[in-house]
Amino acid sequence: SPPPSERAKPRVIALANQKGGVGKTTTAINLATVLAADRRVLLLDLDPQGNASTGLGVDRAARGAGTYALLTGDRPLAELIRPTPVPTLSLIPADTDLAGAEVELVALEDRDRRLRNVFTADAARLAEYDYIFLDCPPSLGLLTLNALVAADSVLVPLQTEFFALEGVSQIVQTIERVRRALNPGLALEGIALTMYDRRNNLSELVAQDVRGFFKEKVFETVIPRNVRVSEAPSHGLPVTLYDSRSPGAQAYVALADELRRREKVRAA
Ligand code: ADP
Ligand code: MG
């Protein structure tokens, strides 16, 4: 393999939205899994609830040290990386201490750039990955801020429901603030419409509204509401492995394709 200096940097993509239950974790797990078919991917669980860890088969009892130890500098990154059911997808789980991190980080030096500093310090180790996904908690506190400061781009999952546009302005403003003050390179990767219900006219109206406002920033692929998606985490598997033929799994394959197509367009 080429020396570290010649390897490309991994693309760091944060999944963020201050609302809970909009599909951040599901999108993180499944995009990471689909891209891992021919890329090396690392997922960091930055939500104290640890749903990304559970959803990839690392139960609460088995969690041990993870992103809390990473942010506080208690453990080196290499010691925290765990395997998942997907061979080329690795995970840094949420440790149980992460719940205290929002409060404890306040007192630490560089409190909003802890993660970025780790990525810089461990750049050689991380160069073996093509993508790093950051699954954020449902708030705009210090954990999400650390993710946005360390990321190249943000992907905002948006539940296709009536107040969708009102909720999204807060995260978009936060992205703009981070860009001005802390991470000028931060891009909006895109907005992904989730839990779309074909039988409900409201879903289509909301989708049109969001596209009218955010234009091409909205992914063409919409993720349908699909019971297989909600079943998969209890089996410790991404839906793309649990039931690869389900509409939810196929939508995530399409979303990953679209993400790659957009990357190529940007690079050209
Ligand atoms: P967040 O991380 O934003 O809180 P999750 O990804 O955990 O959201 O999703 C919230 C809940 O909705 C979870 O129980 C998840 O399994 C379920 N869910 C997510 N996407 C879908 C979908 N497309 N269809 C059905 N259920 C879904
Ligand atoms: Mg989540």
Looking from the CA of residue 230, the nearest atom of ligand 1 is 16
Which protein residues are within 6 Å of ligand 1, measured from CB?
A: 20-26, 51, 138, 194-195, 223, 225-226, 229-230, 233, 248
Could you say which ligand is closest to the alpha carbon of residue 27? 1
Q: Are strands 153-159 and 82-83 parallel, antiparallel or unpaired?
A: unpaired
Looking from the CA of residue 227, the nearest atom of ligand 1 is 25
Looking from the CA of residue 157, the nearest atom of ligand 1 is 3
More confident site: 221 or 97: 221
Task: Report the pLDDT value the prediction gives residue 3, as an integer from 0 to 100.
Answer: 54
Chain segment 130-185, per-residue pLDDT in tens: 999 999 999 999 999 999 999 999 999 999 988 888 889 899 999 999 999 999 99
Please give the backbone phi and psi of residue 27, each rounded to the nearest 5 degrees, phi first: -70, -40
How far, in whole angstroms, is CA 196 from its chain's centroid?
A: 19
Task: Report the pLDDT value the prediction gives residue 111, as an integer from 0 to 100.
Answer: 95
Residue nearest atom 14 of ligand 1, based on CA coordinates: 230
Task: Report the pLDDT value the prediction gives residue 115, as an integer from 0 to 100.
Answer: 98
**Burial grade of 216 (CB within 10 A; 0-12, 13-18, 19 or more):** exposed
Residue of 240, 245, 203, 206 lying closest to 225 (CA atoms): 203
Task: Report the pLDDT value the prediction gives residue 63, as an integer from 0 to 100.
Answer: 85
Identify residue 159 by its one-letter amino acid code: Q
Chain segment 69-107, per-residue pLDDT in tens: 999 999 999 999 999 999 999 999 999 889 898 889 999
Please give the backbone phi and psi of residue 98, each rounded to the nearest 5 degrees, phi first: -60, -25
Q: Is the dihedral of CA 213, 219, 220, 222 positive or negative?
A: negative
Flag whether pLDDT at 245 surpasses 80: yes
Residue of 149, 153, 154, 64 lying closest to 105 (CA atoms): 149
Predicted confidence band of residue 8 (pLDDT cuts 50, 70, 90): confident
256-261 average pLDDT score: 98
